[in-house]
Structure 1
C-alpha cells in the first residue's frame, strides 16, 4: 500500500465530490485520512441528534418570542407607562404632600414663627445689650487698672533688677552643668568607648566577614547555582520535553482533528436537520394543509358566500327596515302623547294669552311724558326726552 500522499491536482472537482477540510495539512498522509474519516463519522452520529434538538429549540424559542413574549412585553410596557407611572406619580405627590403637612411645614412654622423670634428677642438681644452696655466698659476698666497698677510696675522691676541677676545666675548654672554632665561623658565617649568598640569589635568582625564569610558565601552560591542548573536540566529532560512532545505530536493533532470533526459534523447535522424539517413541512402540508385549504376554498367559501347572500344580507335589510319602522312608530307615539298632554293642559287651565307685538312710532324711541309707553325700536335713533315740566 502506498503511504505517500499523491500530488494535488489542479483540475476542477464536480459538486459533491470529496474536498479537503479547512484545517487539512498537506503533510498528512493516508494514515491520517484513515483515522480522520471514522472519527468524523462517529462525531456526526453523536452531533446530529444534538443539532436537531437545537434547531427544534430555536424554532420553539422564536415562535414563543413572536407569539407570547413580544405581545406580553408590549402589554407590560403599556401597563407600566399608562397605569403604573401615573399611579406612582400620584402616590408620590400625595405622600410628599402628607409628609410635608405632617413633618415639614409644622416644624418650619414652629422654627420660623416661634423659636427664632423667642430666641432672638428673648435671649440674643438682651445678651448683646448686656455685653455691649455693661460687660465691655467693665472689661475695659479692669484692663486699664491691671495694666497701670500691676503690669507696668512688674515690667519695670524685671528690666531693672531681675534681668541682670538672671543673666549671671544662668552663666554660673551653665558652667556647672557642663562641668558635671557634659564634659565627663564626652571624654568617656571619645577616649574610652570609641577605641574599645573600634579595635575590640568592629575590626575583628570586618576581618572575619572579609576573610571567612565572603569566600564561604561565594562557594555556597556557586554550589546552589550548580544544583539549580542540574535540577533544571533534569526537569527539562524528564518532564518538559516529554510534555511538549506529547502536546505537539499527540494532543494538538487530536484536538485539531476533533475541532474540525465537530465543525464538519455541525454543518452536516444542520443540512440533515433542514432536510428533515423540509420533509416534515411537506408531509404536514400534504396531510393537513392541502386538505384544509381545499376544504376552505371548495366548501367553506361557497357556503359562506351563500349564507352571506341568501341569509345574512336579507336578514340585515329586514332588521334595518324593522328598526326604521319601530323608530317611526315610537316617534308617532311620542308625538301623540305630547299632543294629548297639551290638550289636557289646555282643557284644565285654558289657552294662554299669546303676546302681541307693540308697534312703535317711526323716528321716536320713547316718550316719558305720554301716558302710554312704547318700546324702543331697533335700528332707530332715540329722540330727545321731554319731561312733564316742559310739556306744561
Structure 2
C-alpha cells in the first residue's frame, strides 16, 4: 500500500503572502511620493545633463588633452631619455666596475686567498691542534677534581640542609598552615554571606528604580515611536527609488524631445542646405571653374617643362661648342679588334676550328 506513494507528486510550495500593510503606511505613501517626485525630477534632469556633458567633454577634450599632457611626454621621456641613459649607465658600470672587479678577484684575491688558506691550514695542524690537545687534558683533570668536590658538597648539603628542612616542614609548618587555612575559610564564608546579602539588596533596588522604568519606557514609548519612524523611513526610501526611476523616464523623454527639436531646427536645415544648395553649387564650381583651372594649370606646367627642357638642351649644346672651340675636338677612342667571327668565318658543325684557334 505504501509503494505507490513514492510516485506521487509532492505538493507545491506556495510563497507565503506578504503581511498586510497598515493604514499608517498607506496614508503616508501617496503624499510622500508626490513631494519626493516634485523634488527629485529637477535633480535627475540636472544629473542627466551633467552626465551627458561630462561624457562629451571627456571624449572630446579631457582624453586627448590627458594623452597629450600626461601619456606622450612620459612615453617620450622613457623611450628617448631613460632607456638610452640606462644603457649608457649599464655600459659604464660594466667598464668601470664589473671588469676591474673581475680582474681583481681573478688575479689578486684568488691567489691571496689560496696562500692564506694554506698558511691557516699549517697553523691549525702544527700549532692549534697540539695546543687544543693540551688544554683538553688540563680541563679533563680539572673536571675530575670538580666532580669529587661536588660529591662531597652534595653529601654535606643533604645531611646539613635537606633533612633538617624536611623535618621542620613536616612537624611545624604543616600544622601551622592547616590552622591558618581553616581560619581563612571561615573568614571567606563570612565575607561571602555578607556580600551576597548586600548584592541582593542592591540588585532589587536597581531593578525597581532603573530596570523596570527603562523597560516600560522602551516597551510603551520608544518601540511605537521607532516603528512609526521605520515606516516613515521605509516609505521615504521607496518613494526616492520610485521617483528616481520616474525622473529617469522623464529625463529620457526630455532628452529625446530636445534631440528631435535640435535635429529639426539645426541638423535637418543644414543637411537640406548642404544637399540641395551647396552640393549643386559645388558641382557647378568644380565643373566650370576648378576643372578648367586645373587643366590650364597642367597645360602651363607642361609648356613650362618643355621650355625648361629646351633651354637646358640649348645651354648644354652651347657649353659643348664653347669647349670644342677652346680645347679642340675630343680625342676619339681607338677601335678595339673584336675576336668574334664575322661573315664566312663563323664556326660550323662540320669544322673543328674556331676563330680563336685559326691561324
TM-score (norm 1): 0.65
TM-superposition CA deviations, 1:295-348 (whole Å, max 9, x none): 333432222222111111111111112112222222222222223323333331
SS in 2 for 1:302: helix
Residue deviations 1:31-56, cap 9 Å, x none? Answer: 76564433333222211221111111
The structure richer in helix per residue is 2
Once the two structures are superposed, what CA deviation does each residue of 1:357-378 show, in whole Å capped at 9, x if it has no partner?
Answer: 313386xxxxxxxxxxxxxxxx
CA distance in 1, matches of 2:57, 2:303: 53
Q: Quote how far apart the aligned CAs of 1:213 are.
A: 3.3
Which of the residues 86, 89, 96 maps onto 2:83?
89
Question: Which of 225, 228, 231 is equivalent to 1:253?
Answer: 231
Instruction: Tell me, in whole angstroms, the C-alpha distance in 1 between the residues paired with 2:153 and 2:283.
Output: 136
Note the residue ranges of structure 2 that are not aligned, 5 or more in a row: 1-17, 342-353
Match of 1:194 in 2: 174
Question: Is the 2:25–2:231 contact (alpha carbons within 8 Å) kept by the matching residues of 1?
Answer: no
The answer to whether 1:49 aligns with 2:42 is yes
Distance in 2 of aligned mates of 1:79 and 1:282: 40
Does 2:237 correspond to 1:262?
no
The size of the alignment, in residue pairs, is 322
- What is the deviation of 1:89? 2.3
How far apart, in 2, do the equivalents of 1:119 and 1:75 lie?
A: 60
Summarize the Cα distance change of 1:245–1:70 in structure 2 as closer, same or farther, 3 Å threshold: same
Gaps of 5+ in 1: 1-23, 363-379, 384-392
The answer for the alignment partner of 1:277 in structure 2 is 255
Choose which of 61, 80, 94 in structure 2 pairs with 1:68.
Answer: 61
SS in 1 for 2:171: helix
CA-CA distance at 1:262 after TM superposition: 1.8
2:339, 2:356 within 8 Å by CA — same for their partners in 1?
no
Matches within 5 A, 1:49-198: 49-72=42-65, 79=72, 83-87=76-80, 88-102=82-96, 104-105=97-98, 107-109=100-102, 111-112=104-105, 115-116=108-109, 119-120=112-113, 125=115, 128-129=118-119, 132=122, 136-137=125-126, 177-198=157-178
Match of 1:315 in 2: 293
Q: Considering only aligned residues, what root-mean-square deviation do their CA atoms show, in Å?
A: 4.2
